Structure 1
Amino acid sequence: MRRPSDADTARRARGAGDEPRPVYVEILIRATMDRVWGLTQDPDQHVRWDARFTRIVPTGSREDPSYEFHYELALPGHTITGTGISAATKTSQAGTRTSALRFAATDRLSPLQQGRGYWKYHPHPEGVVFLTGYDYVPGWGRAGRILDRLIMRRVVWWLTARSFDRLRIWAETGLEPERMAWWREITLPAHARPRAKRCNARPLIPRRGKGVADPATELDELPPYEGFTDRRHK
């Protein structure tokens, strides 16, 4: 009899309601593929629109196309730090691009201790459908798992979605993310203020010949990276 894999175990847990669904954010950006790709794959540009990071520094490449990085999130009085591995590839004859990563916090105070995820870039008649699916192990032990179910995962989704809309505005209009900072929003017209509600929380846009994507299944299909172990919710 075949021994169940980690992916099998994760799917059964999700089906039984024992594990939260992965974070999923999807948005249509009316810009070229190269424009969106450049603003998301360059670490210096990435931290300008993504509120989940304040610094991303590549630290080395591997024999495969992946590279290692160090990340930081500066908060009042403390900076959360961690490491990760990222691989960016162009995988589809239809022009779809995929970027996958795994990360692990090196900081005990981080609410996200370890995780994995992907970005996908789907060509669309009006531009690019940019989406992410990712899951993580909460920090802070049992209390962290409870908080994650009650509120933290919602906060993580909101922060990701607001960041995606900030990217959209930048890519479509040229308005730089620094001008969309919290304290400057009041000076902007409504259409230039980033809003999480402009993003989808579930896959809604069908892919060519495949229907909508299942984030949990796509996460289970990500390749393993040596040096990073999947710790599931227990």
Structure 2
Amino acid sequence: MRPKALYVETVIRTDLDTLWRHTQDPALHQRWDLRLAGITPVDGHFRYTSRFLGVTVDGVGVRAASRDWPDGSRTSVLRFASADPLSLISAGAGFCRCTPVPGGVRLVTGFDYGTRWGRFGRLADRVFRPVFGWMTAWSFDRLRLWLETGVAPEDQPLTAPSAARCGRTRLRDQVAAGTSS
């Protein structure tokens, strides 16, 4: 059985342009995203560095598409890969969507990836994937706190952001499970 793609969403009390800039500008993005230790733009793509449990891996990514929608939302689509043999993730893709809503902007991401290391990689991903989803949600809340309070990510106590404040299941998944309100 194939694991579910990761999905995280939150609403941030800010304007669309500010949120978009903080998600798309590598210098700003790496400040709030726990999953990334560095992002460097290079000739139409970017190089990234991730650190997880003391292991540092490098990879590359490219923004495959970006679009403004008639409802006022913006979406970017990203592809990423790592040739680093220490990286569990071999390659993947995802999206970031910012949609104006009453009181702020809904930030949504969905992404999936393939693993390396064969059967061991698939087994390791059973632990890694939920942790990676938690890290994404925690990072979204860290960004929310930054934009809503003005407290820079570097100055926030580690206990200030909370992954629990973010949605981690698509609405259609909630309806299928009978948990939608």
Q: Give the fraction of aligned pairs with identical amino acids, expressed as a percent.
A: 45
Shift of 1:167: 0.5
Residue 72 of structure 1 corresponds to: 49
Q: Structure 1: 5+ residue runs without aligned partners?
A: 1-17, 62-67, 186-192, 205-211, 214-234
Do residues 82 (structure 1) and 59 (structure 2) align?
yes
- Is the contact between residue 64 and residue 79 of structure 2 (CA under 8 Å) also seen in structure 1? no
Aligned-pair CA distance for 1:88 = 5.4
Matched, 1:59 2:35: no
Contact 1:24 1:134 in 2 (8 A): yes
RMSD of aligned alpha carbons: 1.9
Q: TM-score, normalised by structure 2?
A: 0.89
Within 5 A, what are the aligned runs for 1:3-18? 18=1
Q: Distance in 1 between matches of 2:98 and 2:22?
A: 12
Q: Which residue of 2 aligns with 1:65?
A: none
1:64-121 deviation line (CA, Å, top 9, x unaligned): xxxx111112457642100111145233111110011111112111121210000011
The answer to whether the aligner puts 1:112 opposite 2:89 as a matched pair is yes
When residues 28 and 77 of structure 1 are mapped into structure 2, their CA distance, relative to the original with a 3 A threshold, is closer
SS in 2 for 1:117: strand
> Are positions 1:165 and 2:148 aligned together?
no
- Unaligned regions of 5+ residues in structure 2, if any? 174-181
Per the alignment, in what secondary structure is the counterpart of residue 14 of structure 2? coil
What's the CA shift string for 1:137-173, capped at 9, x where partnerless?
1233211101212x11110100000000000101111
Higher strand share: 2
User: Within 5 A, what are the aligned runs for 1:145-164?
Assistant: 145-149=122-126, 151-164=127-140
Q: Highest relative contact order (Cα 8 Å, sep 6+), 1 or 2?
A: 2
Does the 8 Å contact 2:30/2:37 carry over to 1? yes
Aligned mates of 2:91, 2:64 — CA distance in 1: 17
Contact 1:162–1:194 (Cα < 8 Å) also in 2: yes
Q: Distance in 1 between matches of 2:99 and 2:7?
A: 15
The structure number with the bigger radius of gyration is: 1
| Contact 1:109-1:139 at 8 Å conserved across structures | no
Instruction: Report the count of equivalent residues.
Output: 174
Alpha-carbon distance, 1:38 to partner: 1.1
Q: Is the 8 A contact 2:46 2:61 kept in 1?
A: yes
